[in-house]
Homo-oligomer: A and B are copies of this chain.
Amino acid sequence: MTSVVIHDPTLRDGQHAVRHQLGVAALRGYARAADAAGIPVVEVGHGNGLGASSLQVGRAAVDDDLMLSTVREALRTSRMAVFMLPGWGTSGDLRRAVAHGADIVRIGVHCTETSLAERHLEFLREQGTDAHCVLMMSHMASPAELAEQAARAVGYGARAVGIMDSAGHLLPRDVTARIGAIAGAVDVPVIFHGHDNLGMAVANSLAAAEAGAGIIDGCARGFGAGAGNTRIEVLVPVLERSGFSTGIDLYGLLDAAEFAERELMSAPPVTGSLSIVSGLAGVFSGFKQQVLDAAGRGGVDPRDVFFELGRRQAIAGQEDLIVDVVAELGAGRAAS
């Protein structure tokens, strides 16, 4: 059987769904449950990663130091991972994470901007830390472009590289093409991280494994913003049934997911209309609240706003486009 490493960002990506308010007991409890189930990697942090706790994207209930020391202490055999977005986190944050015993550091960049990860990946290589690079919003680049970006990341020192379907836009055939291209271009493990906007997260992850991905992400009950991520407790048995070995104990995994449903979230993610529309439009669903607010003020349909943002290829950081789009849709309607 082919082995696949399951990477669990429940305690990082899930933070988005609870405004980064996971407390110490929740972090410790889930990390212990994940460790007991044999989940090989547990990622922890503010939803936007190291150094991101701020008024702008939300202050975390627990600071980076306490998050890392809590999870580090709870893990006996699982490795600990952290995530960093250049711009939010700095080299100082990386140093502290390594000092706290982070085994894996993931640097996330927009899918065409690998160069932003260069100095961080090189620093981590010098430290001997296992560095990963993930290309976000990967539906916005072709398989060939992604393969080129991935090869660059490996040149900078990444020991694993891959894609996030940040908008939940991809269908299995799209994943097969992208993962296949990357796997053909690099000789390190390839990562896939799915979102469930179009109900495809598990199917896309299976397609990724079949196309050669060696590291696949999943969160308990899909814990994450909007439609959520790939459900780890479904992903693992589907992979095992399809001929991939994960080393994870099924009952332990189901127990960890039940703990997460009970202790980490108010309710599991639900795929509402705007999650579907943002997935179809290929727009990061983190725009949701701002789209709703602006559309409400402008008297336009928020679904139209998402589709227009998709046509304009809006990405995170371009929230000012929302107001422009609302104004233009409102004006167009008034004129017609």
Query: Chain A: residues with CB nearer than 8 A to chain B?
Result: 171-172, 198-203, 206, 221, 231, 233-235, 237-238, 241-242, 251, 254-255, 257-258, 261, 267-268, 270-273, 276-277, 280, 301, 303
A254-B273, A257-B273, A277-B254 known; A234 vs B198 contact (CB < 8 Å): yes
Which residues of chain B are near A200, meaning CB under 8 Å? 202-203, 238
B199 & A238 in contact (Cβ 8 Å cutoff): yes
Q: Could you say how many copies of this chain the assembly holds?
A: 2
A171 & B267 in contact (Cβ 8 Å cutoff): no
Bound complex: CA A242 to CA B198 (Å): 12
Q: Find A199's partner among B202, B242, B258 (CB 8 Å cutoff).
A: B202
Nearest Cβ on chain B to A216's Cβ, whole angstroms: 13
Q: Find A234's partner among B199, B221, B238 (CB 8 Å cutoff).
A: B199
Which residues of chain B are near A171, meaning CB under 8 Å? 206, 238, 241-242
Q: Find A202's partner among B198, B221, B268, B303 (CB 8 Å cutoff).
A: B198
Bound complex: CA A267 to CA B261 (Å): 15
Nearest Cβ on chain B to A247's Cβ, whole angstroms: 18
A251 & B303 in contact (Cβ 8 Å cutoff): yes
A231 & B268 in contact (Cβ 8 Å cutoff): no
Which residues of chain B are near A273, meaning CB under 8 Å? 233, 254-255, 257-258
Which residues of chain B are near A172, meaning CB under 8 Å? 172, 203, 206
